[in-house]
Structure 1
Amino acid sequence: MNVKALAMVTALSAGALLSMPASAQFAKPEDAIKYRQGSLFVLGQHFSRLGGMAQGKIPFDAKAAQENADVVAYMAKLPWAGFGPGTEKGAPNKSKPDIWLEPEKFKEHADKFEAESAKLAAAAKTGTLEALKAAFGPTANTCKSCHDAYRSK
């Protein structure tokens, strides 16, 4: 399955899940934890491909960059539903308690990441490595700042 087909399947599956109310999505806290971990895993896989290009570790491929950036921008919207009340326990996870103690600040981090991911996708559409590099750094910084604040090592 190519990246474009995988992205389409992921998007359609995620869209179906998002169309349901959050409470109906997850029967148990561990379901929500698995959902957010899965979303973040897929997001990280596509984001790391962009990072490899931006850092010169893999050759720049404009088409692959655009496809991966589009997946990142879409996936950036998904994991947050899995951080609802009661999901701080139920399955092993790396979330710090501050997520539930500072929900407004956590949401600010999520919103910044979504916004930067959209900028990254727009930059990738230019087809230039320079634009990708310029947008990758700020997007990566939003990941780092959220991980620093809300993810245990």
Structure 2
Amino acid sequence: MGEDKPSHSTGPRIAAWVRWLAVAAWACFVWSRSLCDGPESSAQSNVVAELLRPALAALGVHEFSACTFIVRKAAHFLEYLVLGVLLALTREEGTGPLWPRALLGVLVPSADETIQLFVPGRSGQIADIALDCCGVACGMALVAAIRGTRSARPRCRR
């Protein structure tokens, strides 16, 4: 009673409430990063930029300020790509409307940038909301593509 039926190809399914809990936990993680003040956020970005500096230099990016800019924007995109994947995984294949998940994919980054308006040294940016929404869309599209590829494969009959 209350158990999910095993999936035909991937073993037992993860309960819907667990998938939604993962979405909520990830949103809280993202929002917690926005609560870091400007200097702390910059210091964290600088550490990552310093680690990636040789790779970015190989790509022709030599200015440290450009490195940190790339790191910060890549972090935005990747955080929200993960959110998009998690949101897409809350939807059973071929069931339920997609629009509530897409709406959350806009509301979470909007709230994130709004939080930053109230944190010293931070600023909310509409451009970041757009970048975040692109990350969500790519994450959701990635799941759809993988599911589409998996369902297009011929199945072995038992």
Alignment TM-score > 0.5, same fold: no
Kindly name which structure, 1 or 2, has the bigger radius of gyration based on alpha carbons: 2
Q: TM-score scaled by structure 1?
A: 0.34
